[in-house]
A and B are shown apart, each in its own frame.
Chain A
Amino acid sequence: MAFVEINNLIKRYGSLTIFDGFDLTMSSTDRLVLIGPSGCGKSTLLRCMMGLEDIAGGTISLGGDPYITGAERGKMTLDKTVQKEVGMVFQHYTLFPHLSVLGNLCLAPMRSRGMGKSDAQDKAMELLKRFGLGDRAKFYPSQLSGGQKQRVAIARALMLDPKLMLFDEVTSALDPELVKEVEQTMMELAEAGMPMMIVTHDMHFARNIATQVVFQERGKVIEAAAPNDLFGNPKQDRTRDFLKNVLNIEG
């Protein structure tokens, strides 16, 4: 049984079909990077896995537990206890602007896990220090740089000890000089053995962090391979065309 298993996923927005029978698996030692042209459904896939999108068919499992089951009519079924084992970081940080950094980190553990205030704060400070943000605990999101905001968002997700982390284009909104610090934080997390699924446009970073790269187009997996194989020797023409285009643009 694979760690993450997506079976026959169907997702539609009105008359627009994003996935019509999509399959994907990932082991618990993998860091899977999704690449592909914009609008191919990479972000939608992560949103489906987080339970943010109502799916029309298929199942999504974590650790052998199918926690999301789509329904053609009516709402999908969603197991909230498994959902809470998945953490997600978004492109636009989505920090709570009215709470300090510490407040952002402590809200979920205190209010939905019943963790005590001092325990939550200790844990938060430990994470912040680990990410070099110890001196920012009392700051408000508006006082942070984009890179700092995104690292706080990662720390906030880690407060709940997720078994799987989803990263949805987390460096796309950042100024180029701020991208490095966020990528470093993610590398550190990778070295600590956190299973992750990452959507990114940064091919260099994808190659560095991934154990498995999936090239996706129009809601289908075109090619999945280890990073050196996929980037060094792509088997499919479409993968090659895509890589040629993005690598050219990146210069």
Chain B
Amino acid sequence: MALDFAFLLDFRWVLLKGLWTTLQFVTLALVIGLVWGFVLSLFRTSSNWVIYSLSTIYVEFFRGTPVLIQLFWIFFCLPLFLDVNLSDFTSVVIALSLYSGAITSESFRAALKSIESSQHDACIALGLPPTVRTLFVILPQAVLRAIPNLLSNVVSLFKESALVSAVGMADLMYVGQNIANNVARPVEILTAVALIYFAIGFPLTRAVSFVEARLLKVVKA
């Protein structure tokens, strides 16, 4: 069949608006997830077993189930539990933040664990008190080491965000599928949508590798 990509131009503003929606809730979920993930990673190193177990179960559960079911659960079950009406946008941000927090906490935890014990030895040999050790030696290194992982979480969340189309949120994916149905030209529209995702996902992925290579040089002294 004859393909015709020219008609896509008519839909450029609709598609861009979809992309804008995607970027909005992804950014919000990322910021909330970053804070929540850091708190969770501290919980997971807690010596209080109740805090430790609850946070571990939380993280494992969100990492061990499809994001799609998490999304449906927040969308359909949370309002029943809380007896409130949540807007689509709020529900989506809640669901993605909860997920992003779980994967972010793992990045922080891995970074904390990767710091060699000889760094602790050096701190003791220099007579650094525990608070100084944590704040000035361990924390900065943990953040530096977590950066590549945190960035690849950004890519993951960006990709997972296409799921929100399944609950009727008008993101890029949803808009694309809608147009494809209306004009009966799925090949052109869906290819274009894929390319838009690619145009953002690819540079992000490359940035991760770049930053990773640069940071490894600094951290492995």
The answer on direct contact between A and B (beta carbons under 8 Å) is yes
Chain A residues within CB distance 8 Å of chain B: 47, 50-52, 80, 83-84, 86-88, 90, 92-98, 107-108, 111-112, 140-142, 149, 156-157, 160
Which residues in A have their C-beta under 8 angstroms from that of B119?
94, 96
Option from B124, B129, B219 in Cβ contact (under 8 Å) with A97: B219
Q: How far is the CA of A180 from the CA of B65 in the complex (A)?
A: 58
Which residues in A have their C-beta under 8 angstroms from that of B127?
80, 83-84, 108, 112, 160
Say whether B128 contacts A112, CB under 8 Å.
Answer: yes
- Judged by DSSP, the binding face of A is mixed
Q: How far is the CA of A97 from the CA of B144 in the complex (A)?
A: 10
Closest CB in chain B relative to A75 CB, distance in Å: 14
B interface size (C-beta, 8 A): 22
A90 in contact with B144 given A97-B219, A111-B128 (CB within 8 Å)? no
| Interface: B221 (CB within 8 A) | yes
A90 in contact with B141 given A156-B126, A157-B126, A160-B126 (CB within 8 Å)? no
Option from A84, A93, A94, A107 in Cβ contact (under 8 Å) with B136: A107
**Number of A-B pairs, beta carbon distance below 8 Å:** 72
Say whether A140 contacts B126, CB under 8 Å.
Answer: no
A52 in contact with B220 given A94-B118, A111-B136 (CB within 8 Å)? no
| Interface: B125 (CB within 8 A) | yes
Q: How far is the CA of A107 from the CA of B129 in the complex (A)?
A: 11
Other than the known A50-B125, A90-B122, A142-B217, what 16 A-B pairs have Cβ atoms closer than 8 Å? A47-B121, A90-B118, A95-B221, A96-B141, A98-B140, A98-B218, A107-B132, A111-B128, A112-B126, A112-B127, A140-B221, A141-B221, A142-B220, A156-B126, A157-B125, A160-B127
Which residues in A have their C-beta under 8 angstroms from that of B219?
97-98, 142
Which residues in A have their C-beta under 8 angstroms from that of B129?
111-112
- Judged by DSSP, the binding face of B is helix
| Interface: B192 (CB within 8 A) | no
Option from A80, A88, A140 in Cβ contact (under 8 Å) with B218: A140
Q: How far is the CA of A149 from the CA of B218 in the complex (A)?
A: 14
Closest to B126 in A: A108
Closest CB in chain A relative to B6 CB, distance in Å: 53
Query: Which of A47, A52, A97 has its CB near the most chain B CB atoms (within 10 A)?
Result: A97
Q: How far is the CA of A80 from the CA of B126 in the complex (A)?
A: 11
Closest CB in chain A relative to B29 CB, distance in Å: 29
Which residues in B have their C-beta under 8 angstroms from that of A80?
127
Q: How far is the CA of A160 from the CA of B140 in the complex (A)?
A: 23
Closest CB in chain A relative to B134 CB, distance in Å: 11
Q: How far is the CA of A95 from the CA of B121 in the complex (A)?
A: 11
Q: How far is the CA of A162 from the CA of B219 in the complex (A)?
A: 28
Closest CB in chain A relative to B213 CB, distance in Å: 13
Closest to B141 in A: A98
Closest CB in chain A relative to B133 CB, distance in Å: 9
Closest to B124 in A: A52
| Interface: B112 (CB within 8 A) | no
Say whether A97 contacts B221, CB under 8 Å.
Answer: yes
Closest CB in chain A relative to B76 CB, distance in Å: 46
Closest CB in chain B relative to A86 CB, distance in Å: 8
| Interface: B137 (CB within 8 A) | yes
Closest to B119 in A: A94
CB-CB nearest 3 A-B residue pairs: A141-B221, A97-B221, A94-B122
